């Protein structure tokens, strides 16, 4: 039984490979016939088209021997009469690589881009050394090297983690969470965020809360720092925030977010340089919405396997 299954698998792979070769050869023969009609005798062209049709018919069928025979026949005719128009292996590889690079650049510019987390302002949601993918399509296409955007699918929503161009230094990218959106009135009372006169859902989490902040500029690490952990929820998105155990109580007077802007904050509340200090983020500065962590590496753990392919949003807080 195992031998029979293996034999069937081998036949299927052989047939699939032959059909792939046939498709490529048919495409190549038609390209040369179309590009160099003046260099090909009419009788030869007719013979080639007949061979192409025969191979196309065999490719649609299930007889491998017929497919292989007609494939060899067309390859012989192409080599004899159309060799002048065939691409070299080097050229084919170069074109394939060029197309792959172009597709990758277009995807990076308009659809998905990879980012690395350089600081601890979003601890515990994002750790230093997390690598994540960002959806650049959802908030509109952004013309590379500019803040011009068009074709926006929807506006940014409260609770989402976004990557944006730092408004006071456009050479830097920041990542924060949206605390208030366009037209919202945000206020902070005793470290609790209020939006339009209502507090966001927030509860204290039990258990130890200790984290290691970023490195100092000279490369030495800060000592592990005790903290207080809270669960917050905005628009159905649940996430955890840290506040220093010896941190200060923060208040902020009501502030109305301008139209077309968002107010952002880091999840590591007492260690985040955000809208509380430098203002709001215009829509045209937003690069995209954080999607998933695809790789994570950092001291002292090294590779953090548990963080691989971890969604940034809509996670339960434990």
Q: Residue 79: which CATH number? A: 1.20.1270.10
Mean pLDDT of 237-261: 87
Q: 220 vs 227, which has greater pLDDT?
A: 227
Could you list the residue range(s) of the whole structural domain that residue 22 is in?
A: 2-86
CA 165, chain centre distance (Å)? 17
**Whole-number Cα distances in Å, 288 to 92, 123, 139, 165, 305:** 35, 19, 6, 10, 25
- pLDDT of 7: 76
Looking at the annotation, which residues are catalytic? 121, 176
Mean pLDDT of 310-318: 65
pTM above 0.85, yes or no: no
Domain annotation covers residue 97: no
Q: 21 vs 301, which has greater pLDDT?
A: 21
- pLDDT of 317: 40
Among 69, 86, 103, the domain boundary falls at 86
Which H, E and C letters describe 167-203, residue by residue?
A: CCCCCCEEEEEEEECCCCEEEEECCEEEECCEECEEE
Domain annotation covers residue 139: yes
**Whole-number Cα distances in Å, 32 to 26, 37, 76, 232:** 10, 8, 15, 64
Average pLDDT, the chain: 84
Residue 56, C-beta contacts closer than 8 angstroms, at least 6 positions apart: 22, 26
DSSP for residue 215: B
Mean pLDDT of 65-80: 90
Same domain flag for 39 and 125: no
Secondary structure (3-state) at 122: coil
Q: For residue 177, which of 318, 40, 275 has the smallest C-alpha distance?
A: 275
Same domain flag for 294 and 198: yes
109 falls in which pLDDT band (50, 70, 90)? low
- pLDDT of 220: 53
Same domain flag for 67 and 190: no
- pLDDT of 113: 83
Angle, nearest 10°, between helix axes 64-81 and 2-35? 30
Which single residue is written with the structure tokens 């203002």? 279
Domain annotation covers residue 317: no
Domain annotation covers residue 148: yes
Of 9-18, 67-76, 163-172, 216-225, where does mean pLDDT reach its minimum?
216-225
């Amino acid at each position: 039984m195992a031998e029979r299954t293996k034999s069937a698998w081998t036949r299927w792979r052989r047939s699939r490979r032959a059909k792939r070769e046939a498709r490529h050869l048919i495409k190549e023969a038609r390209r040369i016939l179309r590009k160099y009609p003046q260099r090909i005798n009419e009788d030869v062209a007719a013979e080639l088209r007949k061979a192409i049709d025969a191979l196309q018919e065999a490719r649609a069928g299930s007889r491998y021997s017929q497919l292989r025979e007609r494939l060899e026949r067309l390859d012989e005719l192409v080599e004899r009469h159309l060799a002048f128009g065939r691409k070299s292996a080097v050229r084919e590889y170069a074109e394939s690589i060029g197309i792959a690079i172009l597709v990758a650049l277009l995807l990076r510019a308009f659809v998905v881009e990879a980012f690395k987390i350089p600081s601890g302002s979003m601890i515990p949601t994002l750790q230093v050394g997390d690598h994540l993918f960002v959806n650049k399509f959802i908030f509109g296409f952004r013309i590379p090297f500019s803040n011009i955007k068009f074709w926006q699918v929807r506006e940014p929503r409260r609770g989402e983690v976004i990557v944006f161009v730092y408004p006071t230094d456009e050479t830097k990218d920041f990542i924060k969470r949206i605390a208030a959106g366009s037209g919202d009135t945000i206020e902070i009372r005793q470290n609790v965020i209020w939006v339009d006169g209502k507090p966001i859902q927030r509860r204290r989490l039990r258990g130890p809360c200790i984290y290691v902040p970023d490195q100092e500029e000279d490369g030495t690490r800060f000592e592990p720092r005790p903290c207080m952990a809270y669960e917050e929820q905005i628009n159905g998105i649940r996430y955890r925030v840290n506040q220093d155990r010896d941190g200060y109580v923060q208040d902020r007077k009501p502030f109305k977010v301008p139209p077309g802007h968002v107010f952002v904050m880091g999840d590591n509340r007492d260690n985040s340089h955000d809208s509380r200090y430098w203002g709001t983020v215009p829509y045209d500065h937003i690069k995209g919405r954080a999607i998933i962590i695809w790789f994570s590496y950092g001291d002292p753990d090294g590779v953090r396997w548990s963080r691989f392919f971890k969604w940034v949003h809509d996670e339960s807080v434990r």
